[in-house]
Chain A
Amino acid sequence: MNGFELIRGQTNNLLIEINGYINCLHLTPCPYTRNMLLTLLRQKISFLSFLNNLQYSLGVRQPDILPQQTFTVEQLSKYDGKNGQPAYIAVNGLVYDVTNSAAWAAATHFGLSAGRDLTREFLNCHQEQQQILNSLPVIGRLVQ
């Protein structure tokens, strides 16, 4: 794994966590929990700025807009998260890596398994929640 990928992975994780904490902040009525969440958020933000500076000092450039790798539905089905394979899913033509996404324990999510085009399912449950996808690493594109 090169420096850039490492930083991207860490940044993605941080963004997921920050999103999670903000959701919790909206939900919790307890002032102690809110204080704890705010402290955690501050920590995460300072880590983000550290990563940001690191990226510049390493001189790593942003990747080209999208990875060039392409997958057919059949190729995608191999990446089901089992027996050493990573877990990939496709939504709206892009292939995402959910291997280490918390909501995808054991490469399954609310009865869905990885290795499939889940555009319809995503729209059913998470319409207008593009930020969920933004927090996942993009691996490639789905082709016919």
Chain B
Amino acid sequence: MKISECPVNKLGVSAAQKLIDRVVAEARKGRLKKRNLVWLEATGCSGNIISLLNGSNPDFRYFIRDMVNLVYNNSLMASEGEAAFEHLVRVSTADFILAVEGAVATKDKGLYNVIGNWKGKPVTAIDAVRWLGERAAHVIAVGACATHGGPSAAKPNPSQSVSVQSVLKRKVIKLPGCPCHPDWFLGTLAHLLLYGQPLLDEFDRPLMFYGTLIHDLCPRRSFFEKGIFAEKLGEKTCMFKLGCRGPVTRVDCPVRQWNDYVNWPIGDDTPCIGCAQFGFPDAMEPFISYDIT
């Protein structure tokens, strides 16, 4: 049986879509009010919003037309400068869900990351995350930097970046990944809209996406058990000896896959680098090793 035919895999891949369909159906029947969403970009590369734009089940248009009112995102919105910031100020007293991508730079009172200006004064990411984070109905940290510091907080961490949770005293739902898969975010958001907070593990990751280790569902697992290991990149066997982080990374890449569900790193003969594990990238290095016993 091909992995794509497995009923467990099918269920996993369509889970986000099913939740989102439900959101739209409920909204059309007038049973669900569209809620405001603020997407803040803090200290990072904006890769998570780019990843979201690549979503296919559903696509991004569906997301902003049928699921939420996307009130603020500095990469995508038409307004700019203080006019854009005004949207933030207005929504801060209403009901809204906050998504943050990027870590929070703390050095020199956060001046390493200024995300906008208000009344002529610079607003730092740390100010914005605290201000909105305390007022939001839910806070979702999207991607490695927001959930645990990620590449922004990698050694030597010149901006002294930290996770969103470190500056907020409240529950922050965490979606690690570098970047976060569109389904992980949209599925979590759909669950929030329909039923409230999804089931989370002890690190506040939604179990529906972060429930199993990559190693547990890896199609190369039988090679691991038999001790047949790849010695260089490009071989079709288990990449444990090259430094694969699948055994310590808890997420559903083997069944969900990326870029419209076509492939994923191990499927393309490169080891998992543990981008969805806390501590990435420093704790997941070296990404590749050749002289291993």
Q: Which residues of A contact B (CB under 8 A)?
A: 13, 20-21, 24, 27-30, 32-33, 36, 81-87, 99-100, 102-103, 105-111
Contact = CB atoms under 8 A, between A and B. Distances in A.
Contact of B211 (A13, A28, A100, A103): A28
> Which of A85, A86, A110 has most B Cβ within 10 Å?
A110
Interface of B: 7-8, 11-12, 199, 201, 207-208, 211-213, 215-216, 224-225, 227, 239-248, 271, 279, 282-286, 288-289, 291-293
A103 B292 contact: no
Which 3 residue pairs across A and B have the least CB separation, nearest first? A106-B243, A102-B247, A106-B289
Contacts of B240: 102, 105-106
B292 A81 contact: yes
Given A28-B212, A102-B247, A108-B285, 17 more contacts: A21-B216, A24-B212, A29-B208, A30-B12, A32-B8, A32-B11, A33-B212, A81-B293, A103-B248, A105-B239, A105-B244, A105-B246, A105-B247, A106-B243, A108-B243, A110-B284, A111-B285
A82 to B, nearest CB: 5
B289 A33 contact: no
B211 A29 contact: yes
A82 B247 contact: no
B286 A106 contact: yes
A27 B215 contact: no
A122 to B, nearest CB: 15
Contact of A27 (B207, B224, B282, B288): B207
Contacts of A103: 247-248
A83 B213 contact: no
Given A27-B201, A29-B199, A106-B286, A84 B7 contact: no
